[in-house]
Amino acid sequence: MTQKDIRPDLGLRPIVNVSGTMTSLGASIVVPEAVAAVSAILPQFVEIGDLQKKASRVIARLCGTEAGFVTASCSAGITLAVAGAMTGCDLAAVERLPDTTGLKNEVLLMTGHMVSYGAPVEQGIRLAGAKVVPVGQATSAYGYQLNGAINERTAAAVYVISHHTVQYGLIPLKEFVEICHARGVPVIVDAASEYDLKGFLATGADIALYSSHKFLGGLTAGIVAGNTELVRATYMQNMGIGRGMKVGKEGILGTIAALDAWEKRDHAGIRERETRYLELWEQTLSGRPGVTPIREADPTNNPLDRLKVAIEPKGAHITAWDLADALASGRTPIIVRDHEVEHGYFYLDPCNLHPGQEAIVAERLVEELENARQSNEIIATPLETRRNRSYQAIMRWPD
């Protein structure tokens, strides 16, 4: 870190993030190009429509499509794109939302895609006034079910690309698009965390949505990309329900700068650096009783691996979740990726580290594993207790 760490002055814990690009942890390390662009524009007035036109050209270039704009978040993008599919460029209808009287208002979503990224995907759809029509069952969906769900009220279909969704048994995007397009239904792809800026649109999606603040290292914002007609109708929602999802000049320019930087980034070099981190952690952990480190590819094929740390409590004298909690406490809290921890493992994600933090992660792993080994009993908090604790913490806010 070149700059002073201001977190202690703010009374905030100096966490090290091996969890991923999480909104709850401050998303990502904003790239220097975005930081510079944002501080240069903040004191100036700009014509936002013109700045969004510039964003459109940059988004179109990077996403291999016609147009785009920046909104508050990918989540906002879901709501706005659904709204755009319902209203088209009818400004009176834009102002009437979320009242959808007289409009097509049904939106198809596979049941296996009804996930939460911190808020429910389907709520983002309903927020526009649309009605969600589930397609298929939790772990299966077929073309005939999608086709059978389309009717004269169908406004759009939403498709989610994410590790959160069910990863098998569902309709592949290509087939999904073919069925929807054969019936004149536009397809909106939520690709918030996906590095592939072109592939989903190239497969036929009408709109692809990305987060600016995840892998791109932009400001907190969302990117809407796609064909001009639907992007324009989506952009118009800024005069309606999109107002509460407003992005300022800093978010728009921060996104443009992050996209420009992404185009020039040394992706291979970054991958190499991340691989070195994984190797260090693997060496640190292998041979320790009850600990099995396994390198694993990203579930949605983003070009990144994580280290899966499987914990066998009898050998390690601690459960995976108690180890995660121990790492997250103390003077240097390490926040691991623990969304599947009830299976007895967590992940270390190498994407969000400042140089040198990989060594801190290794030291803290050793420290907490050795502490646990010295315990005569196996440290094993019941899972329900841990779940209740996080629920109670939410309910206690701001205390």
Binding site for ligand PLP (CB under 6 A): 23, 73-75, 117, 160, 162, 164, 190, 192-193, 211, 222
Residues 236 and 383: their CA atoms lie apart, in Å, by 47
In the complex, what is the shortest distance from the CB of residue 220 to ligand PLP, in angstroms, rounded to a whole number? 7
Q: Does the CA dihedral 12-14-19-23 come out positive or negative?
A: positive
In the complex, what is the shortest distance from the CB of residue 74 to ligand PLP, in angstroms, rounded to a whole number? 3
In the complex, what is the shortest distance from the CB of residue 191 to ligand PLP, in angstroms, rounded to a whole number? 8
Q: Does the CA dihedral 67-69-75-78 come out positive or negative?
A: negative
Nearer residue to ligand PLP within complex by CB, 79 or 319: 79
Q: How far is CA 158 from the centre of its chain?
A: 16
In the complex, what is the shortest distance from the CB of residue 221 to ligand PLP, in angstroms, rounded to a whole number? 7
Residues 97 and 240: their CA atoms lie apart, in Å, by 7
Compute the half-sphere exposure of residue 82: CA atoms within 13 Å on the CB side of its CA: 31
Nearer residue to ligand PLP within complex by CB, 135 or 323: 135
In the complex, what is the shortest distance from the CB of residue 248 to ligand PLP, in angstroms, rounded to a whole number? 15
Nearer residue to ligand PLP within complex by CB, 177 or 369: 177
Q: 49 near 186, Cβ under 8 Å?
A: no
In the complex, what is the shortest distance from the CB of residue 114 to ligand PLP, in angstroms, rounded to a whole number? 12
Q: 296 near 284, Cβ under 8 Å?
A: no
Cβ-proximal residues to 316 (8 Å cutoff; 6+ apart), any chain: 288, 289, 290, 291, 323, 369, 372, 373
Closest among 251, 265, 304, 290 to 76, alpha carbons compared: 251
